[in-house]
Structure 1
Amino acid sequence: MTDQDRKKWDTRYKNDLGDFAPSSILTQYWQLASCGSALDIACGNGRNSFFLAEKGFTVEAVDISTVATGHLNDKHPGIHVICQDLDTWKISPNRYDLIVNVHFLDRRLFPMIERALKPDGVLIFESFISQNAHPFGLRNNELLHAFQTLRIIYYEEKPNDHEEFNQMASLVAVKQ
């Protein structure tokens, strides 16, 4: 699946690198984290990575797309690019002050994300909800329950105008 996924995302980013404004949930809550190491999961064009690097974080930006990661290479000294298939990637434990996961869902990563946060580390997670049990969509309250051992700062499920998913789940949590 790796080659198919890489080709799919490379084609998408060749045609459109997307919006360069950082995610609004990130701009609202990033300051809860100690400025240190950050992980941007499925970073795409790097919009959130750039934002965090400008705030002083050292960011590991991970994405499967060679086009997206190629766009990020050598653009900011605070961003370390990792071109990797997230379906097989392992996240090192106790490593990050902040983890950002926006518009990506791989349930296999949930326990690794939790373990990868340092004490008082912050998780900012936002992804789509599917009412049709779509494999790339969350179920209602799934995100909230997946990280229930963290201290939840903010959680919301709200309407979304995405063509395939009509709701979005947003979570901000701190590891105690």
Structure 2
Amino acid sequence: MIVDLNSRYGLNPAHSEVVEACKIIEPCDTLDMGCSNGRNALYLGQLGFNVNAIDINSGAIDTLQSIIIEEKMDNIKAQVHDINSASLGKDYGFISCTVTLMFINPANVDAILADMHKRTLPGGYNLIVCAMSTEEHPCPVPFPFTLKAGQLREAYAGWELIKYNEDVGTMHNGAKLQFATMLARKPG
């Protein structure tokens, strides 16, 4: 049974795309890139995934570490890691990167995506949700990086796209923002 740890610790619920992905992905070694305080890592951990949760924010990692200890969740490891280094260091069956890429150095995006490809096991999955900026929908938020139309699809050429869209949504503050959402499976 899943206890709502996120509510217990004042965190947002797990990202809806992570929840959806878990309906088809079996528990495996998983990376939560840009985990922040751990909303997705905690959800995945409760489902039996072995989660490596990384973020550059040491305060967020400290918060997640204290929850892991309090809840005795030995299947989640939280560590400070700069995603910009494009060196994930080990292989995973599932890499989740939701609303993270837009905060990285644009010069590192190709290397980061290439490292995600390399570090995904054959038959494994990548989930990416990232803000876009297009002619029709220029991004109203000054993120360091935004995807262009079709850019994420091109980056995953040769993978099975289980879900892919570039939809406009409304943020909690009312701003209209276009996001690329992709769940892709690496060829086995």
Tell me the percent identity. 24
Quote how far apart the aligned CAs of 1:148 are. 1.3
Q: Which residue of 1 aligns with 2:181?
A: 170
Quote how far apart the aligned CAs of 1:33 are. 2.5
Shift in CA distance, 103/146, structure 1 to aligned 2, threshold 3 Å: same
Q: TM-score, normalised by structure 2?
A: 0.77
Shift in CA distance, 39/158, structure 1 to aligned 2, threshold 3 Å: same
Aligned pairs (5 A) from 1:27-66: 27-66=19-58
Residue identity matched to 2:77: H
Q: Which residue of 1 aligns with 2:169?
A: 160
1:115 is aligned to 2:112: no
Q: Structure 2 CA distance, aligned partners of 1:89 and 1:109? A: 5
Q: Which residue of 2 aligns with 1:11?
A: none
Quote how far apart the aligned CAs of 1:19 are. 4.5
Structural RMSD (CA): 2.1
Could you list the runs of 5+ residues in structure 2 that have no partner in the other structure?
Answer: 1-8
Residue identity matched to 1:173: A
Q: Structure 1 CA distance, aligned partners of 2:146 and 2:36? A: 18
Aligned equivalent of 1:148, options 136, 154, 157: 157
- Equivalenced residue count is 159
Q: TM-score, normalised by structure 1?
A: 0.82
Residue identity matched to 2:147: L
Could you list the runs of 5+ residues in structure 1 that have no partner in the other structure?
Answer: 1-16
Q: Structure 2 CA distance, aligned partners of 1:156 and 1:19? A: 27
Q: Deviations over 1:108-160 (max 9, x none)?
A: 31011011111110111111001358641111111111111211111011112
